[in-house]
Amino acid sequence: MKGGSIEEVDMKQIEIASQGGTTTGRKTGARRLAVNAAFLKDIKDDNQDLKGLLDQIIPITHHQQTATNHWPELITLLSDLRDQLALHFSLEEAYGYFDDAVVSTPELSVTAEVLRSEHPRLFADIRDLADQVTEICSDRPEQVNVFIQRFGAFQRAFEIHEERELKLILDSLDDDLGVGD
């Protein structure tokens, strides 16, 4: 980057020309795409931590006996997942990536609001699961199975939510860069 490092430049404004998404320094009718370097690093680190936790939890919760054998570990992992999701949702909302994603398209704005409104429910679900896992007696297979089913429902809902957020961002970039014009 000419004229400074990432640390010196919090927000780098890049003008995207309407033709082919080329970068230009001219004052044209081009839209501006803001890239916050600090946000990108924080969200990348958060996503890696989140993926790491899910990669540990999911295999444990695939079978009742595995969950039973790893119950103390599962308690810790779900507590960590709850904390990580609190950070994850805070980063998404604090850095305004929803706002940046929908500046020019009303349809994307509606989708962004729906996705943002899902954060409290998803967080409440994982908070409840993190609390429930500490109250379940792991030598009672029926309780373990019910818990595993509840976690599976949360996992599916969270994966769908994340896929829809990614689609929102990609749709926003397509619109902003003029893909398909």
Over the chain (181 residues), what is each successive 10-residue block's mean pLDDT? Answer: 36 32 39 56 89 98 96 98 95 68 68 90 98 96 97 98 89 65 49
pTM of the model: 0.74
- Extract the tokens encoding 93: 């909302």
According to the model, what pLDDT value does residue 96 have? Answer: 58
Task: Round to whole Å and give the CA distance between 172 and 99.
Answer: 11
According to the model, what pLDDT value does residue 106 have? Answer: 73
According to the model, what pLDDT value does residue 164 have? Answer: 93
Task: Round to whole Å and give the CA distance between 28 and 16.
Answer: 9
Task: Round to whole Å and give the CA distance between 36 and 130.
Answer: 33
Domain boundaries, the chain: 39-177
According to the model, what pLDDT value does residue 19 have? Answer: 31
| Helix H or strand E segment including 15 | strand 11-16
According to the model, what pLDDT value does residue 104 have? Answer: 57
Collapsing DSSP states into helix, strand and coil, what is residue 83? helix
